[in-house]
Amino acid sequence: MAVKKGGALTPLEVMDDAAVIPVIVLDDVAQAVPLARALVEGGIRMLEVTLRTPAALRCIEAIAEQVPGAVAGAGTVRSEEDARAAAAAGARFAVSPGYTPLIGAACRQAGLPLLPGVSTGSEILLAQQDGWNELKFFPAVPAGGTAMLKAFAGPFPDVRFCPTGGVTAANAREFLGLPNVVCVGGSWLTPADAVKAGDWGRITKLAREAVALR
């Protein structure tokens, strides 16, 4: 799928671009641009940079400004302030570990498509009440894995998921084989040792393998 050069994306466009959205944790801004370029070279363009470190927003800003082929997004969005700060840094989508209407409203106001985190039927209903039908199933493996997603398919046939949390190269195909799963999220594309060593070739190889999962 072609990535829009500018303007708002839909949550489904974020999910449908590749089989895997990498979950990225960066402590050093200097690593952001070469890491993003390595992933884009491997065919992965939707990049979820988690707001778990003091450097995260600056990393998003660097990727947005210096890697034209990448679509920088913000993960671990936990508040209205996170959503606004992510948008100001240049993020083009947001991912949250859970969901509140305040987060949803802040993302809409900031023009960020959101993948809200859910793990129960009540959480899915809450997200759907606010118009979100493309959701992050988190934490996927501890919350029931593929069995839970199969169970959700009955009462929620209009919902599409991105399972994240315990998803690996070894089990990704099992998740991706479900009709209500569009993509998965995972940290295995950006191993900490490879990032620390600047082994960008390894990361490009992992990205290509991830693209081939679909």
pLDDT in tens, 127-183: 999 999 999 999 999 999 999 999 999 999 999 999 999 999 999 999 999 999 999
Percentage above 70 pLDDT, the chain: 97
* Catalytic annotation, pick one of 65, 80, 136, 196: 136
Q: How confident is the model at residue 85 (pLDDT cuts 50, 70, 90)?
A: very high
Task: Let me know if 209 is a catalytic residue.
Answer: no
pLDDT at 6 over 60: no
Peptide bond into 101 cis (omega under 30): no
* pLDDT at position 103: 98
| Residue of 13, 48, 61, 134 marked catalytic | 48
**CA 15 vs CA 36, 66, 148, 161: distances in Å:** 18, 23, 20, 8
The reported pLDDT for the residue numbered 4 is 52
- CATH numbers and ranges of domains, the chain: 11-211 (3.20.20.70)
The whole-angstrom separation of Cα 106 and Cα 83 is 6
DSSP, res 112 = -
* pLDDT of residue 205 exceeding 50: yes
Taking all residues of the chain, what is their mean pLDDT, rounded to a whole number?
A: 96
Of the candidates 13, 11, 16, which has an alpha carbon nearest to the alpha carbon of residue 214? 16
Provide the whole-model pTM: 0.95
Q: Give 8's pLDDT tier (boundaries 50, 70, 90).
A: confident
Predicted confidence (pLDDT) at residue 1 exceeds the cutoff of 80 = no
Long-range pairs for 62-65 at CB < 8 Å and ≥24 separation? 62/29, 62/32, 62/33, 63/32, 63/33, 63/36, 63/90, 64/89, 64/90, 64/91, 64/92, 65/90
Q: Which residues pair with 49 in a beta bridge?
A: 24, 74
pLDDT tens for 20-43 read 999 999 999 999 999 999 999 999
